[in-house]
């Protein structure tokens, strides 16, 4: 049979001991127990700790983050095991070591930043200070580059470490399509700059006003960077700019004395050289004439240029790579 005592007040017999009920000591408002104290909530002053809040403290290991638990630090004030940390205010740290993604929506100010992986910024980046410096690479034997990721076309600026050159080129792969190369001595080359040279490799007969180097006889294309010179001897400018052309024509097969005045024709204008007379060697009977000229021409993209024969009759352009040629290059 259960017993029940109902009283309003239980007072201690001696002031030193308090009151003990089934191993639980009550003394001056404090509860002391050697076993488990069970309840749905506890109140300390004005603070109420509910069961769910107490669960956050259950099973903690100092310095180790546990799912759905309070985060604590160890004796070195370190915490490990956290996955994501979201803050809305300021984060001040002497150093930072991140092995994953760091996502910062606002401004970030650091004294030094070292990254072994990818850094992505969706806004402007500012490097300040009295002598701001951005260093790419660690003095190791490897290439380094900056890639400009365009909508239709990518470009890059990079260090070709094996050649010790600075390269500006198309695409994201360093050196595959180099546009400008600068070496350690300051020499600048443009491997894809439009330029060509064609020579008369087999003699051909040309009437007045005919286009020279059009394949009559035979021509040899020594180089054509950009493939802008057609087989009919007509050059098409790939880009607006200033072009330097050089022309050489040698005729040693004609037997008559006649005028000889080649012309260089572009879409914008014609360039003419002074009329020359051919000379006949009275001993051999061989007539010879050589003409060389240079033109600095302004051209728009898709303008054309070619050499036109100007003569009082048919001439034979001699097969001679040194004296019968047509060459051009974009210079600016």
CATH code, 226: 2.60.120.40
Q: What is the pLDDT of residue 273?
A: 75
Query: Is residue 84 in a domain?
Result: no
The structural domain count of the chain equals: 3
The residues, any chain, with a CB within 8 Å of residue 215's CB and separated by 6 or more, are 231, 232, 233
What three-state secondary structure class fits 52?
helix
Residue-number span of the structural domain to which 181 is assigned = 144-189
Q: Are residues 185 and 255 in the same domain?
A: no
Q: What is the pLDDT of residue 90?
A: 74
| CA 194/CA 188 separation, integer angstroms | 15
What three-state secondary structure class fits 127?
coil
Token pair of 261 as six digits: 């005045």
Query: Is residue 9 in a domain?
Result: no
Q: What is the pLDDT of residue 278?
A: 62
Q: Are residues 243 and 165 in the same domain?
A: no
| CA 264/CA 157 separation, integer angstroms | 39
Nearest CA-CA partner of 317 in 257, 262, 276, 259: 262
- What does the DSSP 8-state code read for residue 9? -
| CA 257/CA 278 separation, integer angstroms | 5
Using the CB atoms, write b or e for 90-120: b if 16+ within 10 Å: eeeeeeeeeeeeeeeeeeeeeeeeeeeeeee
Point out the domain boundary residue: 73, 98, 129: 73
What does pTM read for this prediction?
0.64
Query: Is residue 131 in a domain?
Result: no
Would you write out the chain's pLDDT as a tens digit for each of its 332 residues?
Answer: 667 777 777 777 776 777 777 777 777 767 777 777 777 777 777 777 777 776 766 777 776 777 777 777 888 878 787 777 777 777 777 777 777 677 777 677 777 777 777 777 777 888 888 888 888 888 888 888 999 999 999 999 999 998 999 999 999 998 789 999 999 999 999 999 999 999 999 988 888 888 999 999 899 999 999 999 999 999 999 999 999 999 988 887 655 566 777 889 999 999 887 655 566 666 766 666 778 889 999 999 999 999 998 777 788 888 888 889 999 999 99
Query: Is residue 19 in a domain?
Result: no
Q: Are residues 323 and 237 in the same domain?
A: yes
Q: What is the pLDDT of residue 12?
A: 78
């Amino acid at each position: 049979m259960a017993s029940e005592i109902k009283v309003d007040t239980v007072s201690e017999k001696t002031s030193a001991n308090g009151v003990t009920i089934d191993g639980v000591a009550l003394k001056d408002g404090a509860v002391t127990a050697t076993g488990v104290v069970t309840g749905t909530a506890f109140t300390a002053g004005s603070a109420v700790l509910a069961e769910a809040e107490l669960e956050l403290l259950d099973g903690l290991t100092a310095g180790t983050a546990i799912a759905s638990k309070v985060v604590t630090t160890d004796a070195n004030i370190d915490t490990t095991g956290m996955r994501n940390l979201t803050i809305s205010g300021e984060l001040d740290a002497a150093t930072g070591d991140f092995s994953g993604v760091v996502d910062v929506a606002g401004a970030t100010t650091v004294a030094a930043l070292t990254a072994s992986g990818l850094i992505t910024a969706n806004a402007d980046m500012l490097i300040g200070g009295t002598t701001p410096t951005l260093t790419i690479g660690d003095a190791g034997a490897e290439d380094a580059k900056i890639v400009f990721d365009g909508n239709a076309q990518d470009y890059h600026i990079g260090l070709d470490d094996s050649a010790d050159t600075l390269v500006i080129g198309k695409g994201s792969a360093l050196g595959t399509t180099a546009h400008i190369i600068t070496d350690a001595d300051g020499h600048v080359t443009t491997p894809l700059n439009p330029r060509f040279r064609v020579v008369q490799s087999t003699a051909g007969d040309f009437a007045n006003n005919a286009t020279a180097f059009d394949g009559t006889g035979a021509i040899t294309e020594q180089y054509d960077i950009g493939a802008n010179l057609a087989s009919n001897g007509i050059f098409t400018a790939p880009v607006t700019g200033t072009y330097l052309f050089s022309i050489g024509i040698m005729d040693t097969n004609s037997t008559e004395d006649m005028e000889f005045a080649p012309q260089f024709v572009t879409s914008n204008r014609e360039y003419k050289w002074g009329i020359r007379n051919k000379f006949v060697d009275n001993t051999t009977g061989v007539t010879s004439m050589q003409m060389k000229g240079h033109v600095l021409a302004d051209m728009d993209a898709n303008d054309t240029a070619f050499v036109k024969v100007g003569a009082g009759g048919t001439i034979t352009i001699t097969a001679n790579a040194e004296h019968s040629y047509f060459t051009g290059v974009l210079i600016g």
